[in-house]
A and B are shown apart, each in its own frame.
Chain A
Amino acid sequence: MAVDHVDLDIPAGVLTAVMGPSGSGKTTLVHLLAGLDRPDSGQVWVGDDEITAMKDKQLAKVRGRIVGFVFQGFNLMQTMSARDNIVLPLRLNGLPQDPEWLDALVEMLGIGRELERRPYEMSGGQQQRVAIARALITRPRVVLADEPTGNLDTHASAEVLAHLRVSCRELGQSVVMVTHDPTAASYAGRVLLFADGKVAGHVTDPTPDAVLAGLDALAGVER
């Protein structure tokens, strides 16, 4: 069982990090929150809507307009340009394009020179930035990111994390980020510590040292 008896409330305007050992259920948790997976039992709510009770069409609308997802493996369409990948959710969901917002994202993520390139012509870090831009292009209420800075250098990671923190505060987004990096987690307002599919603890107002201490404590519990 990947996720078991988890009772969580992800507040709007707060960047929430999820940490834990490999196989602890972090990715399954964000898949459930995004409506990409269905729980055997239990409920998932986004605002006032219970997505676990939704039919495919309603769920598709949630995925397309309310949730933005950054996949661990990026999942970019390999044969399409970066620009086409970024605006893909707009096209799929019949949403109007906002060139200014696209330019802002492109500038923030530093992918201006990559826009016409295909993913297989980019480095892992560049692909990750395109994936982040794609997740943010619809200005979703919920952003779920699975290792969003795993392939980025320190400087780029800091920029992306700072942007996620600012945007969730200013736009009132709920942002959930799975990470293994205590420094990345320290950008969050709250860190959830996951083990064996359960929330084993949390750290509020985290610093890298506090996160490491929490993880060490978690490891002690596991031992």
Chain B
Amino acid sequence: MRAAAATVMGIAVAAVMAISIPWGLGTYGETFYYSSDSMGFAPLGFLVIYLAIPAALLTAVLTAMLGVRAKDAHERAVMAALGETAGTSIRRAVLVGLRDGAIAAGIAYAFMGAMHLAVESANGWPSFTTETNAWATRAVEGAVGIVALTVAHLISAWRRNRSPVELSRAAVGAYRRPKTGHLAVRAGVVLAAAAGLIVGLALTHDGDAGGSASGLADGAYMTVWIAAVAVALTALLPAATALAFRGVGLASRVADRLGSTQLAAVLRTRSADRTKAAARVVLVIGVFGFAAGALGAVDTGVRHSDSFAFIYTENPTDPVETVARIEAMDGVTDVVAADVVGLGADDWTEVVAVDPADLVGVDDELADALLAHPGAAVASSSLAGGDASRDGGVARAFRPDAVVPLVGWGLAYVDATEVDLDSTGHTYLVYVSEGADRMAIGDQLMDAVLTSDGASPASQGITFPAGQDGGYSWETPDLGASLFWIVVVVLALAPVAFTAVRAGTRDAATLTALGSPARAVRTAVAIEGAVLGLTAATIGVVSGVATGALTEVLDRARLSLDGVITDSYLAVALDSINWVTSLGFIVVVSLAYAALAAMVASAVHLETPAEALKEGTATR
């Protein structure tokens, strides 16, 4: 299982590394600018913290995988019987983890690096000139993967003062529900206490940006995440295992009702045959599901209308003439003119002052937010509190009373009729018809002005909303990103299915030797895979979604201390659910695991039960 665990780590790390490749390089062409700043220690440290929860979940997956095959545990028992001390065993495990991790992460790093260079080369950019931070980012991600695999090996080698005989019995492969009740209860109490603290602070404090209450809430928020993961791993996913075994029993009764008595008999046997391998498979899929549900939670807040394409800035300019010129372009349906502050290089956020009346019927959600909260900024929630004073553009523009969260990007909208800005120029919100090529319109707009009268405007630029730059992340709620992550999970499940099915070869061969047709056994393996996959994926995703929604709500409560306005916490909870990823994960992963299990069962099924029995003896 060592190789499978290293493979899964490599796939997971490669997938995360792929996020930082500049996939959109060709799409944007001249309208897009790539920075090449070097990355300091602070952002790298932030990245490690950002990756802490995914790394913890990856560690859980890898630990579960290392326990799928009883042979590994058996070998550890033999080594203990031969005199190997616990300390030596752990040191050996750590070295194995480091070596396997370095190889897997190294391959992933090299492959994704080559991909980065290929994307640059294919789009005519010199090597190492775009997204240069990504090289350091990927190195950190690789290091986090190595740590995850090493910790998983360490946990697997941990003996808990067992004697060699006890280790030997534990290595048999029978599933025993872990005694984690106390741990789950403690984690639940910590979760409730931390959540209660955040809610309490939110109710009793107001406008405490950067204060002690705000710092306390930040700490409680991190605690909520850690405790929620602990509850999932110690209570929810073990419950999924018990449920999955019952599910196989239910499948047996269904098969019996349908007249497939032999299939029913095999399924009944497999339901009673509660192996550690099957339990670990449930845990692996469940953790993946939890990650999909929790980390896939989408940002909540005001969203632009679907027809919104980009913001175009051109100065100096005549707003009336410019609006007319842009509206005349093919595919453009509406253009809203606004004033802007913060076009300097040090300005993180551009503040756009727009009349909400101009947005009614064009961009209703934004219009409603501006009308409902005059004096507030509709902006990224990070703008709230202390961040505003550090942001050059915003600091020069105004001090917002409050912030209504805006999904996606570094713009702040204010009601031009309520906030008096010292404008530094004009900007235009451009809306297009469905199916229009937004990038092409942007390029056309830039080119047209560059060539008009042979003179360039003093400043000109286009800013696209996040999620349209050809890249993806686990928070991007579009179909392509969801499919990408689901494919990654399916790839990672392949070695899990292979090892789990092979671990059961001996039992499957015994059933065949006792009179079950090989086909019935193979079908049962596939059905069992579907049931295990469906149960694990469902409980994993549901618990992940619940965690994601809870943390999103608590995040908003925490941010309320910094002045972030939330109209409805229930709406926030519901809006945070990434339905495409969640439902897609449940359906695709359970079907994929069943298919993988069936394929592996067919592939490892040897010509005769005698051969399979020999093979099973060798692999058990």
Interface residues, chain A, CB within 8 Å of chain B? 28, 31, 34, 36-38, 56-57, 60-61, 63-65, 69, 71, 73, 75, 77-80, 84, 88-89, 91-94, 118, 120, 134
7 contacts between A and B (CB under 8 A): A37-B610, A60-B512, A64-B516, A75-B513, A77-B269, A80-B269, A93-B265
Task: Scan B583-618; emit 1 where CB is below 8 A from any A CB, else 0.
Answer: 000000000000000000000000111110100010
Q: B515 touching A64 by the CB < 8 A rule? A: yes
Per the CB 8 Å criterion, the residue count for chain B at the interface is 36
Given contacts A60-B512, A63-B514, A73-B617, contact A79 B608 (CB under 8 A): no
User: Are A75 and B506 in touch, CB under 8 angstroms?
Assistant: yes
Chain B residues numbered 487-541 whose CB sits less than 8 Å from any CB in chain A: 506-507, 509-520
The 8 Å CB contact of B265, one of A38, A69, A94, is A94
Q: Point out the residues of chain A lying under 8 angstroms from B468, CB to CB.
A: none
5 tightest A-B CB contacts, nearest first: A64-B515, A37-B610, A120-B172, A60-B517, A31-B610
Stretch at the interface among B137-145, B270-278, B547-555: B270-278
Expressed in whole angstroms, the Cα–Cα distance for A59 and B310 within the complex equals 70
In the complex with contacts A36-B608, A38-B607, A80-B519 CB distance below 8 A:
no
Whether, in the assembled complex, B262 has its beta carbon less than 8 Å from a beta carbon of chain A, the answer is: yes
- In whole angstroms, how far apart are the Cα atoms of A60 and B520 in the complex? 10
Per a CB cutoff under 8 Å, which of A38, A57, A79, A92 touches B175?
A79
Contacts of A31 in B (CB 8 A): 608, 610
Q: Are A60 and B273 in contact (CB under 8 A)?
A: no
Q: Which residues of B contact A36 (CB under 8 A)?
A: 513, 608-610, 613
B133 within 8 A of A: no
Task: Indicate whether A89 sits within 8 Å of B515 (C-beta atoms), given known contacts A36-B608, A80-B273.
Answer: yes
Q: A36-B609, A63-B513 are contacts. A84–B272 as well, Cβ < 8 Å?
A: yes
Closest Cβ–Cβ distance, residue A56 to chain B (whole Å): 5
Q: Which residues of A contact B609 (CB under 8 A)?
A: 36-37, 63
Shortest C-beta distance, B167 to chain A (Å), equals 12
**Chain B residues, CB < 8 A from A38:** 607-608
Considering only CB atoms, which chain A residue lies closest to B611 in the complex? A37
Q: Which residue of A lies closest to B515 (CB)?
A: A64
| Residues on the B chain within 8 Å of A37, using CB | 608-611
List the A side residues contacting B172 at CB < 8 Å.
Answer: 78, 120
Given contacts A92-B265, A120-B169, A120-B172, contact A79 B273 (CB under 8 A): yes
Instruction: Say yes or no: A56-B519 contact (C-beta < 8 A), given A92-B262, A120-B169.
Output: yes
Residues of B within 8 A of A65 (CB): 515
* CB < 8 Å neighbour of B518 from A60, A77, A78: A60
Query: Which A residues touch B275, using CB under 8 A?
Result: 78-79
The interface residues of chain A lying within 8 Å CB-to-CB of B174 are: 78-79, 118, 120
CA–CA, A84 and B515, complex, Å: 16
Task: Determine the distance from Cα of A81 to Cα of B507 in the docked complex, in whole angstroms.
Answer: 14
Q: Which residues of B contact A78 (CB under 8 A)?
A: 172-174, 275
CB A37 to nearest CB in B, in angstroms, measures 4
Measured between beta carbons, the chain A residues less than 8 angstroms from B611 are 37
- How far is A78 from B277 in the complex, measured between Cα atoms in Å? 12
A159 to chain B, nearest CB (A): 24
Residue B261 CB within 8 A of the other chain: yes
Query: What's the minimum C-beta distance from B172 to chain A, rounded to whole angstroms?
Result: 4
B102 within 8 A of A: no
Q: Which residues of A contact B272 (CB under 8 A)?
A: 77, 79-80, 84
- CB distance A77 to B516 under 8 Å? no
Report the separation of the CA atoms of residues A184 and B262 in the bound assembly, to the nearest whole angstrom: 37
Residues of B within 8 A of A89 (CB): 514-515
**Interface: B159 (CB within 8 A):** no
